[in-house]
């Protein structure tokens, strides 16, 4: 039995972008639009809570000698010139407005003595413009946004509802189907408008800073519904993840003055980015660390065998650590058993962010490969690729992106549904939902004794991604990886779900996740293999140079006859001509 629910707007995902969208849609519609938030976790637990360092914005240009132009330029240079420049200009212009909005709704921003908001330096940003709330910025924004959503009676939160399918008919969004994990009921959410805000896909890899929930299957589901997926080969490795857990040590630690040192006690960044040192963009710092380790100047973690370098915060002193980096001190103590005040933190790069995502235009409208809008559907935040980060995101631009496009998509969706007052009808959609219900729950009927387990497939997937699509890539290695992924896709079909119950069946949810993850991994792999250049986070040993003549363009992946196809779309350039990227 499919339960049918009707909403004006359905938002998939409850992180910073999703909640910001909900808040704006609720306000813009003046209470007249009904809004549902579907979250596969409890809504306040989305991975945005783990963001630590801060949110970029030009707040006090006079006092700091900063400008929107400079923020835009830093971002575009950081992106290795793959960002769409009109989108970047829109982001930097709205960023200060969003920081002030967060200030008015109650975010506990860290402050200067006179009551203004404090800002810290961050990688690739030439002026300190990262606004922060200690080292839990993402958590504080999330908590504030979530509680503010409770202002509005017209927003209904569906905790622990796992979306399984986007329904699009005749180029128009009709709704989604979802499993209510608590009860095992299958639901059809019919809606006039949808916003995809499900975050990234860090868990395609094993060593990652991201939460267990950051699996990215929804991107594959969107692709199944006709959306194109853009620039997925650009995967960001954050330079400083703690060994062996992968728990993030914020870039703010280097922003506050932390050093990176190798086994010889040397600040090795002087050989890689002499002018910016530890605050060069993440792709550059990550490759520098891995090069140090590969050349024998790192340490080796005994239990895990991982190589690492040291993040040295000892000289910052107790006051800076306690006031500006309290969580870092606590996490290092708990998970690595060291006190950063007297010991160096063992770190190495880990997968952190997905620059790619659902292909959208500058307003966040979801596009097909030919550039047509899937009417009624938007995407925002890490799940989307607008694209403002291009080939490499600068730290603290992600929260800004989530806020700006959360707001823009929420606002547009509210206006769209108010302009289309026709009642929502089931039509043929209910039939689609019934077929989807069978597809999902038929997975519980596989009883083959020797069938592969969901977790075995996930392990194999992560092995392939780490081995074949890491930070240093090569054509032959990647082609091998792609054939392994193709074989894995066959295994996915025969995976065995061992929990056959309906109530809180995590095993079934995990199976659906893994299915989408393997499809998405193929998009990453194919895009990376095809792109015969090095740009930002995509670095190829066999093509070590950027190639603007052939590759100053976005990759688009889409499904045609059930197969993944690639095509390309130009980068939008307004003011800043591509130049060599040096720090």
Partner 1 sequence: MPTITVRVKRFDGKTTWWQEYKVDVKGLKISVLDVLLRIKEEQDPTLAVRYSCRMAICGSCGMVINGKPRLACETLLEELETDVVTVEPMWNYRVIKDLVADTEPMLMRLREVKPYILRDTKEIFESDIEYGQKPEELNKYLNFAYCIECGLCYSACPVAASDKLFLGPMILAAAYRWSADSRDRGWPERMKIVNSDVGVWSCIVAYSCSAVCPRNVDPGFAIQQLKKAILLRRKKL
Identify whether 254 is a catalytic site residue: yes
Q: Is 159 in the site for partner 1 (CB under 8 A)?
A: yes
**Binds partner 1 (CB under 8 A): choice among 104, 493, 545, 577:** 104
The rounded distance, in Å, linking the Cα atoms of 254 and 374 is 42
Q: Give the residue, chosen from 70, 211, 363, 418, that forms a contact with partner 1 under the rule CB under 8 A.
A: 211
Tell me the C-alpha distance between 540 and 471, whole Å.
8
481 φ/ψ angles, rounded to the nearest 5 degrees: -60, -40
Residue 575 near partner 1 by CB under 8 A: no
Please tell me whether residue 35 adopts helix, strand or coil conformation. Answer: strand
> Taking CB under 8 A as the rule, which mask of x and - marks residues 49-78 in contact with partner 1?
xx----------------------------
Cβ proximity to partner 1, 268 vs 405, nearer residue: 405
Q: What are phi and psi of 246, to 5 degrees?
A: 85, 0
Is 501 an interacting residue with respect to partner 1 (CB under 8 A)? yes
Asked whether position 493 contacts partner 1 by CB under 8 A, the answer is no
Report if residue 20 touches partner 1, rule: CB under 8 A: no
Which residues share a beta bridge with 569?
554
Query: What is the distance between the alpha carbons of residues 124 and 132, in angstroms, rounded to a whole number?
Result: 17
Contact 199, 383 (CB under 8 A): yes
Q: Which of 339, 453, 567, 572 binds partner 1 (CB under 8 A)?
A: 453
Question: Closer CB to partner 1, residue 50 or residue 291?
Answer: 50
375 by Cβ neighbours in 10 Å (0-12 / 13-18 / 19+) ranks as middle
> What is the Cα–Cα distance from 387 to 362, expressed in whole angstroms?
8
- Binds partner 1 (CB under 8 A): choice among 441, 472, 504, 576: 504
Under the criterion CB under 8 A, does residue 147 sit at the interface with partner 1? yes
Q: Please identify, using beta-carbon distances, which residue of 203 and 554 lies nearer to partner 1.
A: 203
Sole binder of partner 1 in the list 126, 143, 291, 567 (CB under 8 A) = 143
Residue in 20, 47, 129, 238 annotated catalytic: 238
Q: Of 291-350, which residues contact partner 1 (CB under 8 A)?
A: 303, 327, 331, 334-335, 337
- Rounded to whole angstroms, the Cα distance separating 509 from 431 reads 22
150 touches partner 1 by CB under 8 A: yes
Sign of CA pseudo-dihedral 108, 111, 115, 120: negative
The three-point CA angle 50-467-543 to 5° equals 100
Q: Which two three-digit tokens encode residue 287?
A: 């490759």
- b (16+ CB within 10 A) / e for 534-569: bbbbbbbeebeebebeebbebbbbbbeeeebebebb
By CB under 8 A, name the one of 69, 86, 93, 103 that touches partner 1.
Answer: 103
Task: Give min distance, CB of 57 to partner 1, in A.
Answer: 12
Rule CB under 8 A: which residues touch partner 1? 27, 41-42, 44-47, 49-50, 97, 100-101, 103-106, 108-117, 136, 139-140, 143-144, 147-148, 150-151, 159, 182, 211-213, 245, 247-248, 303, 327, 331, 334-335, 337, 453-455, 497-499, 501, 503-504, 506-507, 510
> Hey, which residues are catalytic here?
238, 254
């Amino acid at each position: 039995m499919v339960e049918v629910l009707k909403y004006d707007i359905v938002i998939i995902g409850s992180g910073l972008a999703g909640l910001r969208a909900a808040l704006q849609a609720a306000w813009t519609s003046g209470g007249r639009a009904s809004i549902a938030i579907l979250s596969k976790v409890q809504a306040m637990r989305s991975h945005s809570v783990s963001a630590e360092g801060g949110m970029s914005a030009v707040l006090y240009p006079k006092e700091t000698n900063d400008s929107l132009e400079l923020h835009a330029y830093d971002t575009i240079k950081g992106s290795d010139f793959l960002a769409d420049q009109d989108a970047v200009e829109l982001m930097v212009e709205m960023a200060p407005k969003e920081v002030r909005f967060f200030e008015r709704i109650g975010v506990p921003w860290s402050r200067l003595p006179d009551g203004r908001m404090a800002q810290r330096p961050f990688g690739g940003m030439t002026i300190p413009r990262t606004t922060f709330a200690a080292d839990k910025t993402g958590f504080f924004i999330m908590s504030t946004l979530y509680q503010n959503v409770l202002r509005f009676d017209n927003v209904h939160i569906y905790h622990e509802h796992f979306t399984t399918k986007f329904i699009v008919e005749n180029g128009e969004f009709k709704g989604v189907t979802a499993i209510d994990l608590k009860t095992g009921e299958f639901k059809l959410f019919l809606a006039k408008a949808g916003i995809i805000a499900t975050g990234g896909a860090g868990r395609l890899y094993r060593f990652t800073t991201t939460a267990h929930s950051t699996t990215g299957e929804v991107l594959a589901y969107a692709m199944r519904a006709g959306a194109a997926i853009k620039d997925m080969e650009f995967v960001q490795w954050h330079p400083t993840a703690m060994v062996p857990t992968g728990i993030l040590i914020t870039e703010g630690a280097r922003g506050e003055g932390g050093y990176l040192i190798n086994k010889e006690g040397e600040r090795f960044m002087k050989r890689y980015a002499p002018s910016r040192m530890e605050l060069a963009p993440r792709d550059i710092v990550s490759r520098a660390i891995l090069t140090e380790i590969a050349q024998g100047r790192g340490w080796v973690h005994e239990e895990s065998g991982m190589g690492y370098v040291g993040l040295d915060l000892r000289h910052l002193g107790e006051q800076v650590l306690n006031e500006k980096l309290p969580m870092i001190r606590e996490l290092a103590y708990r998970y690595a058993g060291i006190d950063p005040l007297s010991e160096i933190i063992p770190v190495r790069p880990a997968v952190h962010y997905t620059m790619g995502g659902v292909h959208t235009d500058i307003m966040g409208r979801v596009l097909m490969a030919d550039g047509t809008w899937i009417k009624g559907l938007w995407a925002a935040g890490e799940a989307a690729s607008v694209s403002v980060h291009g080939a490499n995101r600068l730290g603290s631009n992600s929260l800004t992106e989530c806020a700006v496009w959360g707001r823009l998509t929420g606002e547009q969706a509210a206006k769209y549904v108010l302009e289309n007052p026709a009642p929502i009808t089931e039509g043929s959609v209910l039939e689609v939902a019934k077929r989807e219900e069978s597809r999902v729950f038929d997975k519980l009927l596989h009883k083959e004794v020797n069938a592969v387990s969901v977790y075995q497939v996930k392990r194999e997937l992560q092995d392939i991604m780490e081995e074949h699509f890491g930070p240093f890539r090569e054509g032959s290695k990647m082609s091998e990886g792609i054939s392994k992924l193709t074989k894995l896709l066959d295994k996915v079909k025969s995976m065995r779900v061992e929990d056959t119950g309906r109530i809180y069946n995590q095993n079934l949810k995990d199976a659906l996740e893994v299915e989408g993850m393997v499809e998405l991994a193929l998009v990453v792999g194919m895009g990376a293999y095809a792109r015969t250049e090095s740009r930002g986070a995509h670095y190829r040993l066999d093509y070590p140079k950027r190639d603007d003549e052939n590759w100053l363009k976005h990759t688009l992946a889409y499904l045609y006859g059930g197969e993944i196809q690639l095509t390309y779309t130009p980068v939008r350039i307004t003011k800043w001509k591509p130049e060599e990227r040096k720090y």
